[in-house]
């Protein structure tokens, strides 16, 4: 479970992903949104969900950018409509990333160099053939950085950004 953000810009992040991860990110964004909005959803305690707490519209914008890059390559998509339908208190449309930034509706960790570098490292680890050339100066062994949300209880247990190694948890399984 992860929303890959090798860059602070959602569209640039989507464009940097290999086809396999790009397709999976559509579903991951939807799962994270459900973790934030559906009572009792299995992934609700995962740090990839908790870091987006209070920034559901920004998460949907991320997911829509992922879906946009996906469909621009000629692939079909059903996730964009599901993301829009799952956004509580939906306005007439989801604001752009620039519009969200103007009204301070982007998570504070977006733009954190260590956070984005940890995502580039994870991508190199997952598919060295595809990502080593894209991120040549990034090692493949950096742990994930799990930032805290500054809204509504999205903080990790110890109130700081935590790595998967810090948590000692199996982060590939949903919470009970």
Q: Which range has the worst mean pLDDT, 81-90, 125-134, 142-151?
A: 81-90
pLDDT, mean of residues 116-130? 98
DSSP letters, 12-35, are HHHHHS-HHHHHHHHHHHHHHHHH
DSSP classification of residue 1: -
Whether pLDDT at 37 is above 50: yes
How high is the pLDDT of residue 149? 95
Q: pLDDT band at residue 91, thresholds of 50, 70 and 90?
A: low
pLDDT, mean of residues 44-61? 96
Give which of 47, 58, 49 is closest to 144, Cα–Cα: 47
Bridge partners (DSSP) listed for residue 46: none
pTM here is: 0.86
Whether pLDDT at 3 is above 90: yes
For the chain, the domains span 10-166
pLDDT, mean of residues 106-125? 98
Cα 152 to chain centroid, rounded: 18
- pLDDT tens digits, residue range 158-176? 333 433 333 333 333 333 3
């Amino acid at each position: 479970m992860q929303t890959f953000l090798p860059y602070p810009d959602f569209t640039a992040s989507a464009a940097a992903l290999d086809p396999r991860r790009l397709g999976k990110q559509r579903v991951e964004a939807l799962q994270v949104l459900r973790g934030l909005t559906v009572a009792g959803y299995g992934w609700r305690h995962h740090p990839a969900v908790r870091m987006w707490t209070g920034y559901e519209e920004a998460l949907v914008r991320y997911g829509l950018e992922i879906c946009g890059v996906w469909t621009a390559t000629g692939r079909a998509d059903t996730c964009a409509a599901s993301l829009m339908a799952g956004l509580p208190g939906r306005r007439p449309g989801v604001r752009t990333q620039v519009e969200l930034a103007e009204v301070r509706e982007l998570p504070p960790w977006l733009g954190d160099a260590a956070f984005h570098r940890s995502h580039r490292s994870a991508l190199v680890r997952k598919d060295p053939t595809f990502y080593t050339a894209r991120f040549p100066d990034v090692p493949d062994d950096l742990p994930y950085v799990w930032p805290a949300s500054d809204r509504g209880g999205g903080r990790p247990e110890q109130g700081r950004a935590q790595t998967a190694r810090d948590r000692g948890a199996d982060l590939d399984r949903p919470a009970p």
